[in-house]
Amino acid sequence: MPTQTIRNLFAPGIALTLFLTAGILQAAPKPPQTPSTDDCLACHSDKTLTTKRGNRTVSLFVDGKKFSSSVHGSLACVSCHADLEGKDLPHSTPVARVECGTCHGDEQKQHSHSLHGKAIARGDALAPHCVDCHGNHDIVPVRDPRSAVAPLKVPFVCGRCHQEGTPVQTSRQIDQHNILENYSESIHGEALLKKGLVVAANCVSCHTPHNILPHTDPNSSINRRNIAATCTKCHAEIEEVHRKTIRGELWEKEAHVLPACVDCHQPHKVRNVYYAQGMADADCMRCHANERLKAADGRSMFVSAAEIAASRHAHPRTQAVPVSCSQCHSEVNVSRVRPCETITHPVDCSKCHEDQGQQYQRSKHGQLLAAKDPNAPSCRDCHGTHRILDKRDPESRTFSTRVPDLCGSCHREGQKAAVRYVGTQHQIISNYNESIHGKGLLKSGLTVTATCTNCHTAHMVLPKSDPQSTVNPKNVPATCGACHHGIEEQFEQSVHSRLVTKTDKGLPVCNDCHSAHTIRRTDETGFMLDIMEKCGKCHEEIAKTYFDTYHGKVSRLGYTKTAKCYDCHGAHDILRVADPRSHLSRANVVATCQKCHSTATRRFAGYLTHATHHDPKKYPFVFWTFWGMTTLLLSTFVIGGMHTLLWLPRALQMRRELKAEEAKEEAELAREEAARSNGAGEEGKSAGEENHHAH
């Protein structure tokens, strides 16, 4: 039979069979499907989704982005919420607590035997579960800074229960108190929390993360028998470097058997040792208290215990924990009979004073020291050695009133810094002492006034040519503005500011007008007269025109009440005349003139203050008037002089003739007088003879 015929016979049967099978399968109940992560997030991505647990309202929101980036992001929700596997959604509540031990078996086993696990087993409501430390849907690796149990966060995670005042701390028997506070002040806490040293010991380094046991338990990491092994996980070479004898006793009672560290170092106050701090210093003072002790080069090695006790490094008001000798002289080796024989380098102050040390290294002083210049000042040259006092202490070498003399020990004329100086500033210390700053500091005791360190800084002294220097021209306004608040703000908006005037030419800053070390009061006569010369250094042509005016001529005669440059233009707030804020703008010029001329009007203010007869282009009327009047005056003098010269011979002749005539007249008068005298004599003689005859 042909193949095609066979197919035609069986086709209806096959079709009927397939139809019946499909009907049976469709009628059969479907098995429940396991919910996917997306199925769960369809509800749990709603931030308003909540549920009730006792009297508390608990959010059921899950951040899908955080979950996908967590260590569990590749797992389905039911991998942890195993009780929901194979159930339809929405599921019933409450769901069973997640069992982390399903995957983390070892950690779960440790936790169940720990104090925390046993507290959970007995139903303690305060007992911490995995989620309380690690979080839930946003768990990331411990090495990730975002992790809830990253090293920097561990003290705060533990502190949520063990901080003073928490329910655990107040209602449970815990022998240690102020745990978190003490840890934060310990050497471990400071290294972790202040220096960011993530390898520093935190809570889990000593107590372990999951197997936390009381110190009385033989298996505890902090049990007396185990504490040395716990500490040497970090302090691996402690046996090699530790002090061999303490208070006259061997540190190790048995060879290579370390004693319990907590016998001396308190558990959470590792910096504060059990024995007195002075014990370590006392070992040094056994030799250095001898006033006759000298180094091989003749230097005195005597150290005054009284000076150390009064210093900033030992004073309880300024130093929470006194600094011991070995913290500064860090190369000492206490395992040697003479511990200081291993010292090969001077004290490095930057180990504690890191910021100041970095500044000093970049400074001119630090550069000289690095170049081994014998004149380079080091920390001790300014601060001293064992009697370092707080800079606010009047006895301190760096107290405000002592700073000029301190700097002057090198920078006074004739001293080592002044000898090598090639700049233009001289007599710096004496000039400063006579300046307004120096008088305020040294004569008025005004300790807030500017000293050397206010302008040059204390540790980052640089030449003014260095762009980083505080006395570099571009930085001077900010340096002065640190004290002269408000003045800097005015200056930075003026035409002299680099922010306003963009030019390649030099712009004046504070010291160009006020000087650097000879700053005077601005109301002094000398300053008021000199400031015009300062303006003239830059504005030479304008200054010449000013001195041609009445104001300028009177000022040159020493009269200080007439208008100077700053009276009209301003001092620190000089603006272009076109600027509405300018003292000389149309809106303000009348008021500016009225400061001296109280009755000034708009017409009065139209006076050409800098008008000069030397500029025919800018002031042609003044120019031609001046020269016309000058020509007229000179012509008058010339014509008058010529007339006088031409008249002079005639005048001389007339004078001679006048004198001759006067002489002739005088001769005639003399003759007449003589004649009258002779006539009177004859008459007298005749009268006498007549009288004689009568008798």
Residues 6+ apart with CB under 8 A from 416: 375, 410
Q: Are both 367 and 465 inside the same structural domain?
A: yes
* 256 confidence band (pLDDT: 50, 70, 90): confident
Residues 6+ apart with CB under 8 A from 25: none
* Span 647-657, average pLDDT: 90
Q: Give which of 358, 347, 418 is closest to 383, Cα–Cα.
A: 347
Q: Are both 453 and 578 inside the same structural domain?
A: no
For tokens 């009385």, the residue is 216
- The alpha carbon of residue 104 and the mean position of all alpha carbons in its chain are separated, in whole angstroms, by 51
* 183 confidence band (pLDDT: 50, 70, 90): very high
**430 is a domain residue:** yes
Question: Residue 188 is encoded by which pair of tokens?
Answer: 């471990």
Find which of 240-249, 346-355, 626-635 is predicted with most confidence, using mean pLDDT.
626-635
**591 is a domain residue:** yes
Q: Are both 532 and 482 inside the same structural domain?
A: no
**287 is a domain residue:** no
Q: Are both 470 and 593 inside the same structural domain?
A: no
Q: Give which of 509, 518, 516, 435 is closest to 476, Cα–Cα.
A: 509
- The alpha carbon of residue 503 and the mean position of all alpha carbons in its chain are separated, in whole angstroms, by 29
Q: How far apart are CA 382 and CA 456, in angstroms?
A: 15
For tokens 């194979």, the residue is 86
Reduced to 3 states (helix: H, G, I; strand: E, B; else coil), residue 245 is strand
- Tell me what pLDDT residue 155 has: 94
Q: Are both 530 and 456 inside the same structural domain?
A: no
Q: How far apart are CA 382 and CA 353, in angstroms?
A: 15
CB 93 within 8 A of CB 83: no
Lowest mean pLDDT, pick from 44-58, 563-577, 626-640:
44-58
For tokens 């607590």, the residue is 97
**Residue 537 predicted with pLDDT over 80:** yes
- Tell me what pLDDT residue 5 has: 44
Pairwise pLDDT comparison (684 vs 454), residue with the higher score: 454
Q: Are both 490 and 440 inside the same structural domain?
A: yes
Q: How far apart are CA 109 and CA 124, in angstroms?
A: 19
Cα atoms in the Cβ-side hemisphere of radius 13 Å centred on 395? 7
- Tell me what pLDDT residue 565 has: 92
Number of Cβ within a 10 Å radius of residue 272? 15
* Span 422-440, average pLDDT: 92
* Span 490-496, average pLDDT: 94
**248 is a domain residue:** no
Backbone angles phi, psi at 675, to 5 degrees: -65, -45
Q: Give which of 139, 111, 140 is closest to 127, Cα–Cα.
A: 111
Q: How far apart are CA 520 and CA 527, in angstroms?
A: 7
Residue 36 DSSP label: P
Q: Are both 563 and 437 inside the same structural domain?
A: no
For tokens 């000593």, the residue is 206
Q: Are both 536 and 465 inside the same structural domain?
A: no
For tokens 């001759």, the residue is 660
**255 is a domain residue:** no
**End residue of a domain, out of 612, 642, 669:** 612
- Tell me what pLDDT residue 686 has: 62
Question: Residue 310 is encoded by which pair of tokens?
Answer: 């009064």
Which alpha helices (DSSP H) does 28-151 contain, by range? 37-44, 64-68, 77-80, 105-113, 115-121, 130-134
Q: Are both 366 and 499 inside the same structural domain?
A: yes
**Residue 583 predicted with pLDDT over 90:** yes
**453 is a domain residue:** yes
Reduced to 3 states (helix: H, G, I; strand: E, B; else coil), residue 370 is helix
Query: Which helix (H) or strand (E) element contains residue 556?
Result: helix 550-556
β-sheet bridge partners, residue 51:
58
**Whether residue 90 has a cis bond before it, omega within 30° of 0:** yes
- Tell me what pLDDT residue 628 has: 93
61 to 44, 46, 50, 58, 69: CA distances (angstroms):
5, 6, 7, 9, 16
Query: Which helix (H) or strand (E) element contains residue 16?
Result: helix 3-27
**Residue 317 predicted with pLDDT over 90:** no
* Span 426-436, average pLDDT: 93
Residue 302 DSSP label: -
Reduced to 3 states (helix: H, G, I; strand: E, B; else coil), residue 74 is coil
Judging by DSSP bridges, how do beta strands 245-246 and 56-59 pair with one another? unpaired
Number of domains in the chain: 3
**556 is a domain residue:** yes
**360 is a domain residue:** yes
Pairwise pLDDT comparison (502 vs 330), residue with the higher score: 502
Q: Are both 434 and 476 inside the same structural domain?
A: yes
Reduced to 3 states (helix: H, G, I; strand: E, B; else coil), residue 57 is strand
Q: How far apart are CA 275 and CA 251, in angstroms?
A: 13
Residues spanned by the domain of 456: 352-504
Q: Are both 526 and 487 inside the same structural domain?
A: no
Q: How far apart are CA 452 and CA 429, in angstroms?
A: 10
169 to 160, 166, 173, 203, 469: CA distances (angstroms):
10, 5, 8, 16, 54
Q: How far apart are CA 198 and CA 207, in angstroms?
A: 17
CB 564 within 8 A of CB 532: yes
**Residue 309 predicted with pLDDT over 60:** yes
- Tell me what pLDDT residue 276 has: 45
* Span 139-155, average pLDDT: 93
Q: Are both 491 and 561 inside the same structural domain?
A: no
Q: How far apart are CA 508 and CA 572, in angstroms?
A: 11
Query: Which helix (H) or strand (E) element contains residue 246?
Result: strand 245-246
Q: Cα Rg for the chain, rounded, in angstroms?
A: 52
CB 420 within 8 A of CB 375: yes
Longest dimension (CA), the chain: 238
Does the predicted TM-score (pTM) go above 0.85?
A: no
**End residue of a domain, out of 442, 475, 504:** 504
Backbone angles phi, psi at 265, to 5 degrees: -100, 115
Residues 6+ apart with CB under 8 A from 322: 277, 313, 314, 316
- The alpha carbon of residue 650 and the mean position of all alpha carbons in its chain are separated, in whole angstroms, by 91
Q: How far apart are CA 100 and CA 123, in angstroms?
A: 18
